[in-house]
Amino acid sequence: MRALWMLACRSAWHRRHALALVALSVALSSFLLLSVERVRHDLRQNFSRAVSGTDLIVGARTGSVQLLLYSVFRIGQPTRGMRYSSVEAIARDRAVAWVVPLSLGDSHHGYPVLGTTADYFTHFQYGDRQALAFAQGRAFEQVFDLVLGAEVAERLGYRLGQPLVLRHGEGEIDGNDHDDKPFTVVGILARTGTPVDRSLHIGLAGMEAMHLDWAAGVPLPGAAVPAAQVEQHDLRPKTVTAALVGLKSRAAVFAVQRRIAEFPAEPLLAILPGVALDEIWSALGGAERALLLLSGLIGLVSLAGLVAVVLTALEQRRRELAVLRSIGAGPPRVLALLALEGGLLTATGIALGLVLWWLAVATLGPWLQSRHGLALTLSWPSAAEWSLLGGVFAAGLLASLLPGWRAYRLSLADGLSPKGL
């Protein structure tokens, strides 16, 4: 067996230039398979960790996916609001540790404005329970203080102390600006790679102050309230979009969820973020399978190249194989030799694909984390990933059996005659 191994290695070395291209194609297919599987897996994990440390998200009774997408990811159709008195009642529940209300509906140059409390900067977590941090400035304290997400500050070129005018609603319709009540930037958050980066944060009092002289989405004629006089009014909000809830013990999550579902004042819905995300991934399962299928097809093309190269090389190796037959190597040994060469070539391509994959994750991982919130883990391949690579190796061995069977059927005279195969 050792002699056969040495012979296969030497034969491959003599054809190293052609085989290098095949190994590179196998490496690229392995790289793509690993990348698709890791991105698919880590994307699930990152979506799940976009709001970390929150046990429940509470809002008016609607679809769980709609509530999650709008309140956390700021996408989708707006949900109906819930009473602020209901938020206060939930906060008084014996099992609740903290509650952070969220109020959405306004925007600035297409970026959503989030009204909340200062507790948001204390309790909201992302990633692996990472807390929000300030790159510059501080949290809002006054009515018209504003905190920018990192992407908003970078894309629009804003800085501390700059006055900003917010827009009523989420569109770009002219005339809906709250230009009589400008806000002042007092803080800029560090980049998180989550929807926080694409949001502007104000206090609930500031959100209420903007709408003191508005009704049904339009300003009230003759009822304008100057910015200097807003604190003379009651700035306690009447409704909010949703609330993030943290519990003293996760063991109480289902009991609290049931109590919220039976809330007597209004119909409410309490969702577990992870469960709602599972519903999203169930709907997107077809797209995931399509990506894996595409990577598999690329792998098949690479293996087809392997077969073509080995078959082409048979013409050049007729005399080599005939010499082997003449010194006593039977057809099974010739078949084993070609299968071993194919396996060696496939294994080399897989190893090269692993190296490329590790380099890509190490190089692009920090950038993807900071820019897009996708944290790719630099680790040894998982069991699922090893199974994919094992499938590539097995397919490479099977692909090499075709030219091996062709060589198996060659007679000694075929190799010593001047004719082709």
Strand, coil or helix: 145: strand
From CA 43, how far away is CA 403, in angstroms rounded? 41
Q: Which residues contact 371 (CB under 8 A, 6 or more apart)?
A: 193
Provide the β-strand partners of residue 134.
189
What confidence score (pLDDT) does residue 269 get?
95
* pLDDT higher than 70, residue 1: no
DSSP sequence for 97-114: EEEEEEEEEEEETTEEEE
For 297, other C-beta atoms within 10 Å of its C-beta total 11
The DSSP call for residue 132 is P
What confidence score (pLDDT) does residue 395 get?
78
Sign of CA pseudo-dihedral 301, 304, 310, 312: negative
How far is residue 113 CA from its own chain's centroid? 23
Query: Nearest-CA neighbor of 321 among 419, 418, 416, 420?
Result: 416
pTM: 0.69
Domain ranges of the chain: 2-47+285-416, 56-271
- Buried b / exposed e along 334-373 (16+ C-beta atoms within 10 A): bbbbbbbbbbbbbbbbbebbbebbbebbeeebeebbbeeb
pLDDT of 272-320, one tens digit each?
988 888 888 777 777 777 777 777 777 677 667 667 766 666 666 666 6
User: Out of 18-27, 97-106, 115-124, 296-305, which region has the weakest mean confidence (pLDDT)?
Assistant: 296-305
pLDDT of 56-110, one tens digit each?
999 999 889 899 989 998 887 788 899 999 999 999 999 999 999 999 989 998 8
Number of continuous H segments (helices) and E segments (strands) in the chain: 14, 16
Q: Which residues contact 121 (CB under 8 A, 6 or more apart)?
A: 132, 134, 139, 147
DSSP sequence for 370-410: HHH-------S--HHHHHHHHHHHHHHHHHHHHHHHHHHT-
Q: Which of 32-41, 217-226, 270-279, 285-294 has the highest mean pLDDT?
A: 270-279
Query: Nearest-CA neighbor of 39 among 283, 393, 368?
Result: 368
Provide the β-strand partners of residue 108.
111
